Amino acid sequence: MQTEKKDIRALSKEQLRDFFVAQGDKAFRGNQVYEWLWNKGAHKFDDMTNVAKATRQMLEDNFVINHIKVDQMQRSEDGTVKNAVRLHDGLIVESVLIPTETRTTACVSSQVGCSLDCNFCATARLKRMRNLNPDEIYDQVVAIDNESKLYFDRPLSNIVFMGMGEPLMNYNNVMKAIDMITSPEGLGMSPKRITVSTSGIPKMIKKLADDEVKFKLAVSLHSAVDEIRSQIMPFSENFPLKDLRESLEYWYSKTKSRVTYEYVVWKGINDDKKSIDALVKFCKYVPCKVNLIEYNPIDDGEFQQAPAAAIEAYISALERNDIVAKVRRSRGKDIDAACGQLANKEAEA
Protein backbone atom coordinates (compact mmCIF):
# COMPACT_ATOMS: atom_id res chain seq x y z
CA MET A 1 0.00 0.00 0.00
CA GLN A 2 1.35 3.42 -0.98
CA THR A 3 2.03 5.71 1.96
CA GLU A 4 0.73 9.26 1.80
CA LYS A 5 3.44 11.75 0.93
CA LYS A 6 4.41 14.25 3.58
CA ASP A 7 3.91 17.98 3.01
CA ILE A 8 7.45 19.26 2.57
CA ARG A 9 6.63 22.49 4.41
CA ALA A 10 6.24 20.51 7.63
CA LEU A 11 10.05 20.19 7.58
CA SER A 12 12.30 22.78 9.19
CA LYS A 13 15.25 24.13 7.25
CA GLU A 14 17.57 21.88 9.28
CA GLN A 15 15.44 18.82 8.45
CA LEU A 16 15.51 19.74 4.77
CA ARG A 17 19.31 20.09 4.88
CA ASP A 18 19.57 16.68 6.60
CA PHE A 19 17.27 15.14 3.98
CA PHE A 20 19.51 16.26 1.13
CA VAL A 21 22.65 15.06 2.90
CA ALA A 22 20.97 11.66 3.40
CA GLN A 23 20.27 11.62 -0.37
CA GLY A 24 23.98 12.16 -1.06
CA ASP A 25 23.46 15.81 -2.03
CA LYS A 26 24.87 19.00 -0.53
CA ALA A 27 23.22 20.52 2.56
CA PHE A 28 22.86 23.95 0.87
CA ARG A 29 20.29 22.39 -1.46
CA GLY A 30 17.96 22.37 1.55
CA ASN A 31 18.46 26.14 1.88
CA GLN A 32 17.56 26.62 -1.78
CA VAL A 33 14.37 24.58 -1.53
CA TYR A 34 13.40 26.25 1.76
CA GLU A 35 13.68 29.66 0.11
CA TRP A 36 11.46 28.52 -2.77
CA LEU A 37 8.84 27.15 -0.37
CA TRP A 38 8.56 30.20 1.87
CA ASN A 39 10.14 33.37 0.52
CA LYS A 40 9.27 32.70 -3.13
CA GLY A 41 5.98 30.88 -2.47
CA ALA A 42 6.47 27.98 -4.89
CA HIS A 43 3.25 26.07 -5.52
CA LYS A 44 4.95 23.10 -7.17
CA PHE A 45 8.45 21.64 -7.39
CA ASP A 46 8.81 22.54 -11.06
CA ASP A 47 8.69 26.22 -10.04
CA MET A 48 12.14 25.77 -8.48
CA THR A 49 14.05 26.77 -11.60
CA ASN A 50 17.56 26.83 -10.07
CA VAL A 51 17.17 23.25 -8.79
CA ALA A 52 18.21 20.43 -11.14
CA LYS A 53 15.35 18.62 -12.88
CA ALA A 54 16.38 15.26 -11.38
CA THR A 55 16.32 16.80 -7.90
CA ARG A 56 12.86 18.29 -8.53
CA GLN A 57 11.64 14.85 -9.59
CA MET A 58 13.13 13.30 -6.46
CA LEU A 59 11.23 15.85 -4.36
CA GLU A 60 8.05 15.09 -6.31
CA ASP A 61 8.53 11.38 -5.55
CA ASN A 62 8.89 12.00 -1.82
CA PHE A 63 6.80 15.04 -0.92
CA VAL A 64 3.81 17.22 -1.77
CA ILE A 65 3.22 20.96 -1.41
CA ASN A 66 -0.30 21.26 0.00
CA HIS A 67 -0.83 24.82 -1.13
CA ILE A 68 -4.15 26.57 -0.57
CA LYS A 69 -6.34 27.62 -3.48
CA VAL A 70 -8.53 30.71 -3.53
CA ASP A 71 -11.74 28.96 -4.56
CA GLN A 72 -13.91 32.05 -4.79
CA MET A 73 -13.11 35.74 -4.48
CA GLN A 74 -15.70 38.46 -3.91
CA ARG A 75 -14.91 42.17 -4.26
CA SER A 76 -16.99 44.76 -2.46
CA GLU A 77 -17.78 48.26 -3.69
CA ASP A 78 -15.70 49.60 -0.79
CA GLY A 79 -12.66 47.60 -1.97
CA THR A 80 -12.94 44.78 0.57
CA VAL A 81 -12.02 41.38 -0.89
CA LYS A 82 -13.29 38.13 0.62
CA ASN A 83 -11.59 34.86 -0.22
CA ALA A 84 -13.12 31.43 0.16
CA VAL A 85 -9.94 29.37 0.58
CA ARG A 86 -9.93 25.67 -0.31
CA LEU A 87 -7.50 23.52 1.65
CA HIS A 88 -5.80 20.38 0.35
CA ASP A 89 -8.45 18.14 1.94
CA GLY A 90 -11.34 20.07 0.39
CA LEU A 91 -12.32 22.02 3.50
CA ILE A 92 -13.01 25.75 3.19
CA VAL A 93 -11.98 28.71 5.34
CA GLU A 94 -12.31 32.43 4.72
CA SER A 95 -9.92 35.35 4.71
CA VAL A 96 -10.53 39.03 3.99
CA LEU A 97 -8.50 41.89 2.55
CA ILE A 98 -9.52 45.23 4.09
CA PRO A 99 -8.10 48.34 2.39
CA THR A 100 -7.97 51.94 3.56
CA GLU A 101 -6.29 54.88 1.85
CA THR A 102 -3.00 54.21 3.62
CA ARG A 103 -2.84 50.48 4.33
CA THR A 104 -4.14 47.02 3.62
CA THR A 105 -5.05 44.54 6.35
CA ALA A 106 -5.31 40.76 6.02
CA CYS A 107 -7.93 39.15 8.24
CA VAL A 108 -7.06 35.43 8.46
CA SER A 109 -8.50 32.22 9.85
CA SER A 110 -6.75 29.81 12.24
CA GLN A 111 -9.22 26.89 12.39
CA VAL A 112 -11.78 25.22 10.13
CA GLY A 113 -14.89 26.08 12.11
CA CYS A 114 -14.40 27.09 15.74
CA SER A 115 -13.81 25.46 19.11
CA LEU A 116 -16.04 27.99 20.90
CA ASP A 117 -19.76 28.79 20.99
CA CYS A 118 -20.28 32.55 20.72
CA ASN A 119 -23.99 32.95 20.02
CA PHE A 120 -23.63 35.95 17.69
CA CYS A 121 -21.04 34.35 15.43
CA ALA A 122 -21.76 32.44 12.23
CA THR A 123 -18.56 30.39 12.54
CA ALA A 124 -19.63 29.09 15.96
CA ARG A 125 -22.47 27.29 14.20
CA LEU A 126 -19.86 25.20 12.42
CA LYS A 127 -18.19 22.55 14.52
CA ARG A 128 -14.42 22.69 14.61
CA MET A 129 -13.21 20.36 11.89
CA ARG A 130 -9.50 20.81 12.49
CA ASN A 131 -6.74 23.29 13.19
CA LEU A 132 -5.01 24.97 10.28
CA ASN A 133 -1.36 24.10 9.72
CA PRO A 134 1.24 26.90 9.85
CA ASP A 135 1.63 26.86 6.06
CA GLU A 136 -2.15 27.17 5.54
CA ILE A 137 -2.22 30.27 7.72
CA TYR A 138 0.86 31.64 5.97
CA ASP A 139 -0.65 31.00 2.52
CA GLN A 140 -3.72 33.10 3.36
CA VAL A 141 -1.42 36.02 4.10
CA VAL A 142 0.58 35.51 0.89
CA ALA A 143 -2.63 35.38 -1.18
CA ILE A 144 -3.85 38.67 0.32
CA ASP A 145 -0.42 40.27 -0.12
CA ASN A 146 -0.62 39.36 -3.83
CA GLU A 147 -4.17 40.74 -4.08
CA SER A 148 -3.10 43.95 -2.35
CA LYS A 149 -0.31 44.44 -4.89
CA LEU A 150 -2.65 43.61 -7.79
CA TYR A 151 -5.65 45.75 -6.80
CA PHE A 152 -4.08 48.53 -4.71
CA ASP A 153 -0.50 48.65 -5.98
CA ARG A 154 0.97 48.25 -2.51
CA PRO A 155 2.01 45.33 -0.32
CA LEU A 156 0.06 44.11 2.67
CA SER A 157 0.72 46.26 5.74
CA ASN A 158 -1.16 44.61 8.64
CA ILE A 159 -2.55 41.24 9.75
CA VAL A 160 -5.33 40.44 12.20
CA PHE A 161 -6.13 36.92 13.38
CA MET A 162 -9.85 37.53 13.50
CA GLY A 163 -11.22 35.02 11.02
CA MET A 164 -12.61 31.56 11.57
CA GLY A 165 -11.47 29.90 14.77
CA GLU A 166 -9.93 30.81 18.12
CA PRO A 167 -6.19 31.41 17.51
CA LEU A 168 -5.17 30.51 21.06
CA MET A 169 -6.82 27.09 20.68
CA ASN A 170 -4.36 26.45 17.83
CA TYR A 171 -1.47 28.02 19.69
CA ASN A 172 1.58 26.19 18.33
CA ASN A 173 0.58 26.41 14.67
CA VAL A 174 -0.37 30.09 14.93
CA MET A 175 2.98 30.87 16.57
CA LYS A 176 4.88 28.95 13.88
CA ALA A 177 2.95 30.79 11.16
CA ILE A 178 3.74 34.16 12.75
CA ASP A 179 7.41 33.16 13.03
CA MET A 180 7.49 32.57 9.25
CA ILE A 181 5.48 35.71 8.47
CA THR A 182 7.94 37.83 10.46
CA SER A 183 11.09 35.97 9.42
CA PRO A 184 13.36 37.49 6.73
CA GLU A 185 13.18 34.02 5.17
CA GLY A 186 9.40 34.40 4.93
CA LEU A 187 7.54 37.69 4.47
CA GLY A 188 9.71 39.77 6.79
CA MET A 189 6.76 41.65 8.33
CA SER A 190 7.15 43.45 11.65
CA PRO A 191 5.36 41.66 14.52
CA LYS A 192 4.07 45.09 15.59
CA ARG A 193 1.85 44.98 12.50
CA ILE A 194 0.19 41.75 13.63
CA THR A 195 -2.74 41.50 16.05
CA VAL A 196 -3.97 38.20 17.49
CA SER A 197 -7.60 38.46 18.56
CA THR A 198 -8.84 36.03 21.19
CA SER A 199 -12.17 35.43 22.87
CA GLY A 200 -10.25 35.47 26.15
CA ILE A 201 -8.62 32.28 27.42
CA PRO A 202 -6.66 33.35 30.53
CA LYS A 203 -4.18 30.46 30.61
CA MET A 204 -3.18 31.02 26.99
CA ILE A 205 -2.94 34.81 27.39
CA LYS A 206 -0.42 34.18 30.18
CA LYS A 207 1.46 31.79 27.90
CA LEU A 208 1.68 34.53 25.25
CA ALA A 209 3.21 36.79 27.88
CA ASP A 210 5.66 34.12 29.05
CA ASP A 211 6.68 33.50 25.42
CA GLU A 212 7.47 37.22 25.13
CA VAL A 213 5.60 37.67 21.87
CA LYS A 214 6.05 40.98 20.07
CA PHE A 215 2.69 41.18 18.32
CA LYS A 216 -0.41 42.94 19.65
CA LEU A 217 -3.27 41.40 21.60
CA ALA A 218 -6.98 42.04 21.11
CA VAL A 219 -9.74 40.53 23.24
CA SER A 220 -13.34 40.05 22.10
CA LEU A 221 -14.91 41.31 25.29
CA HIS A 222 -18.49 42.35 24.39
CA SER A 223 -19.46 42.69 28.05
CA ALA A 224 -17.72 43.38 31.34
CA VAL A 225 -20.64 41.81 33.24
CA ASP A 226 -20.18 38.06 33.77
CA GLU A 227 -23.86 37.11 33.37
CA ILE A 228 -24.23 39.08 30.14
CA ARG A 229 -20.91 37.87 28.74
CA SER A 230 -21.83 34.24 29.36
CA GLN A 231 -25.16 34.86 27.60
CA ILE A 232 -23.29 36.20 24.58
CA MET A 233 -20.37 33.73 24.79
CA PRO A 234 -21.46 30.65 26.80
CA PHE A 235 -17.94 29.18 26.99
CA SER A 236 -16.87 32.20 29.06
CA GLU A 237 -18.62 30.70 32.10
CA ASN A 238 -15.40 28.69 32.42
CA PHE A 239 -13.30 31.86 32.13
CA PRO A 240 -14.87 34.50 34.43
CA LEU A 241 -13.89 38.13 34.02
CA LYS A 242 -11.87 37.98 37.24
CA ASP A 243 -9.56 35.39 35.64
CA LEU A 244 -9.45 37.30 32.34
CA ARG A 245 -8.55 40.50 34.20
CA GLU A 246 -5.73 38.74 36.05
CA SER A 247 -4.30 37.29 32.81
CA LEU A 248 -4.39 40.71 31.13
CA GLU A 249 -2.66 42.34 34.07
CA TYR A 250 -0.01 39.62 33.79
CA TRP A 251 0.22 40.23 30.01
CA TYR A 252 0.81 43.94 30.53
CA SER A 253 3.34 43.43 33.33
CA LYS A 254 5.42 41.21 31.03
CA THR A 255 4.98 42.94 27.65
CA LYS A 256 4.11 46.60 28.44
CA SER A 257 1.81 46.32 25.41
CA ARG A 258 -1.69 47.75 25.76
CA VAL A 259 -4.69 45.59 25.03
CA THR A 260 -7.42 46.29 22.46
CA TYR A 261 -10.96 45.34 23.47
CA GLU A 262 -13.28 44.42 20.63
CA TYR A 263 -16.79 45.26 21.70
CA VAL A 264 -20.08 44.94 19.81
CA VAL A 265 -23.09 46.78 21.27
CA TRP A 266 -26.37 44.89 20.76
CA LYS A 267 -29.87 46.19 21.21
CA GLY A 268 -31.40 45.06 24.51
CA ILE A 269 -28.34 43.03 25.52
CA ASN A 270 -25.46 45.32 26.48
CA ASP A 271 -26.74 48.80 25.55
CA ASP A 272 -27.63 49.93 29.09
CA LYS A 273 -25.87 52.10 31.69
CA LYS A 274 -24.88 49.07 33.81
CA SER A 275 -22.95 47.63 30.85
CA ILE A 276 -21.29 50.96 30.06
CA ASP A 277 -20.17 51.51 33.67
CA ALA A 278 -18.82 47.95 33.89
CA LEU A 279 -16.75 48.41 30.72
CA VAL A 280 -15.30 51.70 31.96
CA LYS A 281 -14.28 49.99 35.21
CA PHE A 282 -12.76 47.00 33.38
CA CYS A 283 -10.77 49.31 31.11
CA LYS A 284 -8.99 50.83 34.10
CA TYR A 285 -7.21 47.59 35.04
CA VAL A 286 -4.65 47.71 32.21
CA PRO A 287 -3.79 50.31 29.54
CA CYS A 288 -6.12 49.67 26.64
CA LYS A 289 -8.21 51.01 23.81
CA VAL A 290 -11.72 50.01 22.80
CA ASN A 291 -13.02 49.27 19.31
CA LEU A 292 -16.81 49.52 19.26
CA ILE A 293 -17.75 47.38 16.26
CA GLU A 294 -20.80 47.82 14.08
CA TYR A 295 -22.61 44.50 14.05
CA ASN A 296 -23.41 42.68 10.82
CA PRO A 297 -26.50 40.55 11.70
CA ILE A 298 -26.36 36.89 10.63
CA ASP A 299 -30.15 36.40 10.92
CA ASP A 300 -33.27 37.97 12.46
CA GLY A 301 -32.50 36.54 15.90
CA GLU A 302 -31.79 38.19 19.24
CA PHE A 303 -28.53 39.83 18.19
CA GLN A 304 -29.33 43.10 16.44
CA GLN A 305 -27.33 46.28 16.02
CA ALA A 306 -27.91 48.78 18.83
CA PRO A 307 -29.16 52.28 17.98
CA ALA A 308 -26.59 55.04 17.38
CA ALA A 309 -27.47 56.68 20.71
CA ALA A 310 -26.22 53.63 22.61
CA ILE A 311 -22.87 53.72 20.78
CA GLU A 312 -22.59 57.45 21.53
CA ALA A 313 -23.27 56.79 25.22
CA TYR A 314 -20.38 54.30 25.28
CA ILE A 315 -18.03 56.70 23.47
CA SER A 316 -18.89 59.58 25.82
CA ALA A 317 -18.37 57.51 28.97
CA LEU A 318 -15.08 56.07 27.78
CA GLU A 319 -13.69 59.41 26.65
CA ARG A 320 -14.73 61.09 29.91
CA ASN A 321 -12.51 58.52 31.61
CA ASP A 322 -9.58 59.10 29.21
CA ILE A 323 -10.01 55.72 27.51
CA VAL A 324 -9.30 55.69 23.78
CA ALA A 325 -12.38 54.51 21.89
CA LYS A 326 -13.22 54.24 18.20
CA VAL A 327 -16.21 53.04 16.23
CA ARG A 328 -15.32 50.46 13.58
CA ARG A 329 -17.76 50.38 10.69
CA SER A 330 -18.68 47.14 8.97
CA ARG A 331 -16.91 46.57 5.66
CA GLY A 332 -17.96 44.66 2.57
CA LYS A 333 -21.69 44.87 3.28
CA ASP A 334 -22.59 44.22 -0.36
CA ILE A 335 -20.87 40.80 -0.44
CA ASP A 336 -21.73 37.69 1.56
CA ALA A 337 -21.26 38.25 5.27
CA ALA A 338 -17.92 36.85 6.26
CA CYS A 339 -17.73 34.15 8.88
CA GLY A 340 -18.27 35.44 12.37
CA GLN A 341 -17.28 39.09 12.49
CA LEU A 342 -14.42 38.63 10.03
CA ALA A 343 -15.20 41.69 7.89
CA ASN A 344 -16.72 43.78 10.67
CA LYS A 345 -13.46 45.55 11.14
CA GLU A 346 -11.76 48.49 9.57
CA ALA A 347 -8.10 48.00 8.83
CA GLU A 348 -6.26 48.34 12.10
CA ALA A 349 -3.42 46.50 13.74
- Active site members: 94, 339
> In the beta sheet, which residues pair with residue 289?
260, 324
Contact status, residue 132 vs residue 165, Cβ threshold 8 Å = yes
- Count of all residues that appear for the chain in the document: 349
Contact status, residue 3 vs residue 31, Cβ threshold 8 Å = no
**Angstrom distance (rounded) from CA 189 to CA 183:** 7
Other beta carbons within 10 angstroms of residue 124's beta carbon come to: 24
**Angstrom distance (rounded) from CA 199 to CA 186:** 28
**Angstrom distance (rounded) from CA 151 to CA 304:** 33
Q: For the chain, state the CA radius of gyration.
A: 21
Burial 276-302 (b: 16+ CB within 10 A, else e): bebbbebbebbebbbbbbbbbebeeee
